[in-house]
Amino acid sequence: MAIAAALPIDFLQASIEAGVPRFEIEAYNGGLLRVAGFDAPVVVDLASATFVDHQLPILFAHDRSVALGHADQRRNDGRSIWLAGLLSVPGSKRDEIVAAHKSGYRWQASIGAKDFRRQPIGPGQSVTVNGRSFTGPIIVARGATIYETSILPIGADSTTSVSIAAASAADSTEKGKSMTFEEWVKSLGLVLAQLKDEQRNELQAAYDAKQLAANAQPGGQQQSQQQMPRGNVAAGASGNGTVGAAANGQTIAAGASHATQQVQAGANGQATSTDNVLDQIAAAHELAGQIRATADQYQVEQIEFNGRQVNLVATALRERWNLDRVRFECIQAQMARHSHQAAPAIHVVGRAGNVDRGQVLEACLARQFSVIGSEELEAGYSEQVLEASDGREFRGFSLQQLLDSVIRAAGRHYSGSRKSNEFVEAAAIASDQLVASGVTSMSLSNIFENVLNKVLLTAYMRVGTVWQQICGNRPLSDFKPHGMYRLNDAGGFQQVTHDGQLKHITLTDAKSSVQANTYGAILGVTRQDIINDDLGALDQRATILGRMGARSVEEKVFELLLANTGNFFHTDNANLITPALTFAGLSTGVATFGKMVDAGGSPILVPPSILLTGVTLAETADSLYQDKEFGVGTSAKAQERINNTHKGRYKPVSSPYIDNTAIRNAAGEALSGQSSTAWFLLADPQDMPVIVVGFVNGRSVPYVESSDSVFSKLGFETRAYLDFGVAFGPDKAAAVKSSGGG
């Protein structure tokens, strides 16, 4: 999930520079942010934060289809983020922002951060970030990438500022001489050679329109680019109506059914070329159609303009709005529509009543994963949501149906192929728009993250790991080494002497340490998955990733145990023997365990409770635990049946990591120290653990996180990771190992 936190802008007195409007932004002051989708305030750790490698875009309202400019300077001093750059994308939105500032309106900015790792700080806990101290509950975003900044009408924090120096490239001339296309592009702060073909074509069209408008005026003075000619424009739906346009008092009337034109000279006595007039009429026809298509795409008919509800298409034509302004008004209308709801959510109405549609879509997607059963569904969703998600509308739910639902919820419409990049991009833009308007439950990132979290955790919990039975579990506050101590007494209670004085005892300590690292992987919902509508492949990958998370802890525990790091098991420690696992061999192990003493020479008085083996010896271990009698001797005929005094005492636990030499670790390497004859006697890990597993903040299940910004033509990514470390405990008397060699 991405951070998109609104921060106010303080527009300073504008000054005119050559080129386009420049801005300066104190984008983030290092403090607390209230971010949608997070259950606690967020602090972005600037010491680990970076900017994107490419040019940092400036957007409007986090809409990736509406760019305003770019930052050409950026600074992160570890305490705040500062940006400067150009509002380099021409259009009415840029002009409106500068004009509104001149009228006293205070715009605001919003930073976007992605690809970060969450570090929850619990209530009452303190952490120092960005040179300041914060007390939980908060979330620290580590390793974030700052990937965009947006300009917004509203925001939440009053501690940052932006200054803009306004200049209009559209009005720039050199002593009345028009700029060439290359000069005009350069004046926008862009490099022509670095533009893509699509960008070059769009700019060329804007430049040509500007030149056309300039030629239509006396003296060749240019109108604002991408605007319709002044005057009233009315186009009949059948194409047989009349289009009227006026430039400097001139009136043109043209019927589509005939080839005659009437040109009436304006008050200044100058006439405009008929060819230019026809070009303007054609452009007016084309723009009118584009305005209607845009209004249909956003499903917006009425907007608020000058304090009253008006028809969007008619107002756009009358006010000579370009398509950028039309799109802006559509988005504003949709945001206003969402903000008028009592709670920012989209609902489904059915027999179960009103339920959040985002929750319903999430439940529909969850039903498609094989690892999610009725138990998981009932634990994760209300009865009303489950009833709605089981409706006829959602039978055979697919990835494409999910994306279609999000597009419609944003008030948009997509009529092209569902097997295209454009479809995925349309869904991503719709998702961003919903989040910006407060409807976070309909965010594609949130839906995927929540469902994949359930899938991964369910798969994680279903793996038959045994580390929980043989290891101690300790919470860690951070990633530094954490010491583990056990006090040993030298001596004991002694008889009080005649003078009544008690003697002091001497305490020594045994010490070891455990340190956490981060282990994880990335799961992608690729563009191919969406185009192919392939939920089956995603189901398999998500389940595998959950199982990988569970195996990661198991693998590290047995790598440590088998490698015998630090010679934990050694004859000098009196915890290494050689008998095979038989009745007599187990008796030897129990006796060895009972004879061990601590550093002060006192008995540990903690009995063994677990018999750990590989799969080869698992049946023998079970017999020693369950059978009433046990055969002793070298042959079946000569064996003597004796009473099994070990029955029910040492719980058998087995793992293939001990003796399956085909197993490879995450790096593809064989495990050292494997043996089909070795076995271990362990104390209860609650009393004296042989191995301790430490989890940062005590979280023993993986984090599952995603980033909104990644959901684009490339698809969607989610990360699963676990912060943990393993180490031998401080007590070498916690276990006895037998090599089993006899």
Extents of the domains making up the chain:
3-171, 347-442
Residue 510 burial class via C-beta count within 10 angstroms: exposed 0-12, middle 13-18, buried 19 and up: middle
Cα 560 from Cα 658, distance rounded (Å): 11
Distance of CA 88 to the CA centre of its chain: 29
Q: Is 715 left (phi over 0), alpha (psi -120 to 50) or beta?
A: left
DSSP 352-414: TEEEEHHHHHHHHHHTTSTT--HHHHHHHS-HHHHHHHTSGGGTT--HHHHHHHHHHHTT---
Cα 142 from Cα 193, distance rounded (Å): 37
**Residue range 185-227, pLDDT digits in tens:** 665 545 677 666 665 665 676 666 556 555 544 443 333 333 3
CA-based torsion, 284, 285, 288, 290: positive or negative: negative
Nearest residue to 725 (alpha-carbon basis) of 555, 484, 561, 553: 553
Check: CB of residue 414 under 8 Å from CB of residue 426.
yes
Q: What is the pLDDT at residue 633?
A: 61
Q: Which of 424-433, 452-461, 500-509, 685-694 has the highest mean pLDDT?
A: 685-694
Cα-based torsion angle of the residue sequence 86, 90, 91, 93 in order, rounded to the nearest 10 degrees: 0
| Size (the chain), residues | 742
Instruction: Tell me the pTM.
Output: 0.53
Q: What is the pLDDT at residue 256?
A: 28
Residue 269 burial class via C-beta count within 10 angstroms: exposed 0-12, middle 13-18, buried 19 and up: exposed
**Residue range 652-681, pLDDT digits in tens:** 999 999 999 999 998 899 999 999 999 999
State yes or no: pLDDT of 620 exceeds 70.
yes
Q: What is the pLDDT at residue 279?
A: 64
Lowest mean pLDDT among 122-131, 403-412, 518-527: 518-527
SS3 category, 141 = strand
Check: CB of residue 517 under 8 Å from CB of residue 723.
yes
State yes or no: pLDDT of 365 exceeds 50.
yes
Residue 352, C-beta contacts closer than 8 angstroms, at least 6 positions apart: 383, 384, 385, 387, 388
Share of the chain above pLDDT 70, in %: 69
Residue 346 structure tokens: 């989209």
Cα 19 from Cα 86, distance rounded (Å): 9
Lowest mean pLDDT among 112-121, 146-155, 427-436, 458-467: 146-155
Q: What is the pLDDT at residue 488?
A: 52
3-171 is classed CATH 3.20.16: yes
Question: Which contiguous run of DSSP H or E holds residue 204?
Answer: helix 197-215
Tally the C-alpha atoms within 13 A of residue 444's C-alpha that lie toward its C-beta. 33
Nearest residue to 145 (alpha-carbon basis) of 176, 114, 124: 114
Residue 359 burial class via C-beta count within 10 angstroms: exposed 0-12, middle 13-18, buried 19 and up: buried
Q: What is the pLDDT at residue 227?
A: 38
**Residue range 30-58, pLDDT digits in tens:** 888 766 556 678 889 999 998 887 678 88
State yes or no: pLDDT of 636 exceeds 80.
no
Q: What is the pLDDT at residue 635?
A: 57
Query: Which residue has better confidence, 160 or 238?
Result: 160
